[in-house]
Amino acid sequence: MELMRVVEARRPENVGRVVRIRGWVRTRRDSKAGFSFIEVNDGSCLGNLQILAPVNLPNYESIVKHLHTGASIVVDGTIQASPAKGQATELVAQRLELLGDADPTLYPLQKKNHTYEFLRTIAHLRPRTNTFGAVTRIRHRVSLSIHQFFHENGFYYIHTPIITASDCEGAGALFRVTTLDPARPPLRDGQVDYTQDFFGKPTYLTVSGQLQAEAYACALGKVYTFGPTFRAENSNTTRHLAEFWMVEPEMAFYELADNMDLAEAFLKRILRDVLQECAEDMRFFQERVDPNLLQRLEQVLQTPFRRISYSEAIDILARAGRVWEFPVAWGKDLQSEHERYLAEEYFRGPVILYDYPRSIKPFYMRVNDDGRTVRAMDVLVPGVGEIIGGSQREERADVLEQRMREQGLDVEAYRWYLELRQFGSVPHSGFGLGLERTLLFLTGLTNIRDVIPFPRYPGHAEY
Ligand code: ATP
Ligand code: MN
């Protein structure tokens, strides 16, 4: 028997084929005309395959008539053209086997729509819903496009460490990695003695693969990392996770404008692929989540991203004539409300902000000639705010070392990073794109906990 997935069985060119389908029952309806209609989904696409199960199946009375939502089945049958609306084909069953039943008094996913909040409490079952099936397929497609885009543009994929001894941002928000017994850690002078820890010093989960990616960019030219990233910031927002996925390209010989060009081309490529390859899932989000979604995304694809300096942005915000929760002033970091105003209301499309005050940005960003600003760039998009953060990196060893001291970093711990500037230093740039923020942008969903399979955030590490 030829195995076929629902996505193929739904195509009209397969009418007449005799196939085996395996999946989970979404609904069953018994008709008086001598058969039952069973909607089956196997995750291969949003749409279900309608099974016509005739009463003359040997197990019709014993099994078919008692199939419940969520049960797993195997069906052998013939694909035929369907007279029903919304589907080209249906499957006439010749044999139907029940693999695992789902007790309707216990199975939480009944036919009705569930809230996202409820579905978060059953994260092991929510992939069986339309929304999470669609998110999952789009997440896969985006991941694939990321690799394709970089590969086609001459980048190498670098696996940077998950455990690190350096804190890329020079600030807290780190998860510690240790094998010491927290109840009885070895002490020396009243302090925990990390020389006795597994690595002989304090180590953490990575907040970014950038510094290590820079080492490889300064040898292979163009590289990227793509992996899980951890931040222990206690920000219980709809845009932050404690564990998220980040893509970080790093390019030798790239200045800030090249970095912006790449970020824009990259985002547009992901967008184009998803609109093309995930059309059915994207229509679902348009219909169920955000009626302006497709129009907004098409527009993003067509228009060049606006590019303005941080200082210009501050002027625009100061003139906006509204009361901000966080006051606007040159030298202060922009908050989500400011970013969204710029992208959603003022420019009504993606904006790249650049040249931020040096005091609010990490040590590795290149200091501009004005001495007050650094070559940072953030890409802001409607619906999300910041989706990309990047910069041209400081390539001058002396300036970099001074910036480290300025920010109170242990220069010796970053000796290797300084050496990248001491030997064959080149201008270089890179950025980080949050995968989950990208998925919010693409799907119109509003909570980041709904675009990753098993979200981790303060107080939550279930499953
Ligand atoms: P924000 O100001 O929004 O907290 P950030 O400036 O700390 O973000 P960066 O260090 O610039 O973030 O990280 C690069 C990208 O990674 C961000 O533009 C965003 O897309 C994503 N990102 C950062 N922090 C998180 C998080 N906690 N959860 C999910 N994505 C994140
Ligand atoms: Mn940022």
Atom of ligand 1 nearest to the CA of 378: 18
Rounded to whole angstroms, the Cα distance separating 427 from 333 reads 26
- Identify whether 71 is part of a domain: yes
Residue type, 26: R
85, 144: one domain: no
140, 279: one domain: yes
Distance 434 CA to ligand 1 centre (A): 6
* Tokens representing residue 295 in the block: 């129009």
223, 78: one domain: no
Atom of ligand 1 nearest to the CA of 437: 20
Query: How do 89-100 and 49-54 pair as beta strands?
Result: parallel
- Identify whether 113 is part of a domain: no
Tell me how far CA of residue 272 lies from CA of 208, 269, 306, in angstroms.
Answer: 27, 5, 19
Distance 209 CA to ligand 1 centre (A): 13
23, 77: one domain: yes
- Identify whether 112 is part of a domain: no
Other C-beta atoms lying within 10 Å of the C-beta of residue 22: 16
Rounded to whole angstroms, the Cα distance separating 418 from 398 reads 9
- Identify whether 109 is part of a domain: no
Of 113-117, 234-238, 270-274, 407-411, highest mean pLDDT: 270-274
Task: Give the residue whose CA is nearest to atom 10 of ligand 1.
Answer: 389
Atom of ligand 1 nearest to the CA of 333: 2
Question: What is the DSSP code string of 125-174?
Answer: TGGGSHHHHHHHHHHHHHHHHHHHHHHHTT-EE----SEES--TTSSS--
Question: What is the DSSP code string of 262-315?
Answer: HHHHHHHHHHHHHHHHTHHHHHHHHHHT-TTHHHHHHHHHHSPPEEEEHHHHHH
Task: Give the residue whose CA is nearest to atom 16 of ligand 1.
Answer: 434
Distance 390 CA to ligand 2 centre (A): 7
- Identify whether 294 is part of a domain: yes
Find out whether 379 and 305 touch, Cβ atoms under 8 Å. yes
Query: How do 351-357 and 306-309 pair as beta strands?
Result: parallel
- Identify whether 331 is part of a domain: yes
- Identify whether 380 is part of a domain: yes
- Domain of 74? 2-100
**Number of domain units in the chain:** 2
Assess whether pLDDT exceeds 80 at residue 166: no
- 318: domain CATH number? 3.30.930.10
Task: Give the residue whose CA is nearest to atom 18 of ligand 1.
Answer: 388
Q: Give 186 or 233, the one with higher predicted confidence.
A: 186
167, 294: one domain: yes
Residue 167: what pLDDT? 61
360, 412: one domain: yes
Other C-beta atoms lying within 10 Å of the C-beta of residue 354: 25
Q: What is the mean pLDDT of the chain?
A: 96
Burial 169-178 (b: 16+ CB within 10 A, else e): bbeeebeebe
Q: What is the pLDDT of residues 89-114, one digit of tens each?
A: 999 999 999 999 999 999 999 867 89
User: Which residue among 100, 135, 151 closes a domain?
Assistant: 100
Query: What value does the CA radius of gyration of the chain take, rounded to a whole number of Å?
Result: 27
Rounded to whole angstroms, the Cα distance separating 48 from 23 reads 10
Assess whether pLDDT exceeds 70 at residue 82: yes
**Ligand 1 binding site (Cβ under 6 Å of any ligand atom):** 231, 240-241, 244, 246, 386-389, 432-434, 436-437, 448
23, 161: one domain: no
- Sheet (strand 163-164) strand order: 163-164, 203-205, 176-177
Other C-beta atoms lying within 10 Å of the C-beta of residue 434: 23
Task: Give the residue whose CA is nearest to atom 21 of ligand 1.
Answer: 434
Q: What percent of the chain has pLDDT over 90?
A: 95
Ligand nearest to the CA of 386: 1
Atom of ligand 1 nearest to the CA of 390: 11
Residue 168: what pLDDT? 57
Ligand nearest to the CA of 339: 1
Task: Give the residue whose CA is nearest to atom 23 of ligand 1.
Answer: 434
Rounded to whole angstroms, the Cα distance separating 458 from 238 reads 12
158, 65: one domain: no
Task: Give the residue whose CA is nearest to atom 24 of ligand 1.
Answer: 240
- 42: domain CATH number? 2.40.50.140
Ligand nearest to the CA of 379: 1
- 29, HSE (Cβ side, Cα atoms, 13 Å): 6
Task: Give the residue whose CA is nearest to atom 12 of ligand 1.
Answer: 389
Residue type, 272: R
Strand, helix or coil for residue 339: helix
161, 19: one domain: no
Assess whether pLDDT exceeds 60 at residue 446: yes
Region of 173 (left: φ > 0; alpha: ψ -120 to 50; beta: rest) is left
Q: What is the pLDDT of residues 202-230, one digit of tens each?
A: 999 999 999 999 999 999 999 999 999 99
User: What is the mean predicted confidence (pLDDT) over 34-53?
Assistant: 97
* Tokens representing residue 4 in the block: 């076929």
What are the residues whose beta carbons fall under 8 Å from the beta carbon of 122, sequence distance 6 or more?
108, 109
- 86 burial via Cβ count (<10 Å: 0-12, 13-18, 19+): exposed
222, 78: one domain: no
Distance 20 CA to ligand 1 centre (A): 45
Residue 273: what pLDDT? 98
Q: Per-residue confidence at 170, pLDDT binned at 50, 70, 90?
A: low
Distance 107 CA to ligand 1 centre (A): 37
Beta-bridge partners for 78 = 18, 92
219, 88: one domain: no
Residue 234: what pLDDT? 78
Q: Per-residue confidence at 171, pLDDT binned at 50, 70, 90?
A: low
70, 219: one domain: no
Residue 122: what pLDDT? 97
- Identify whether 411 is part of a domain: yes
Find out whether 262 and 450 touch, Cβ atoms under 8 Å. no
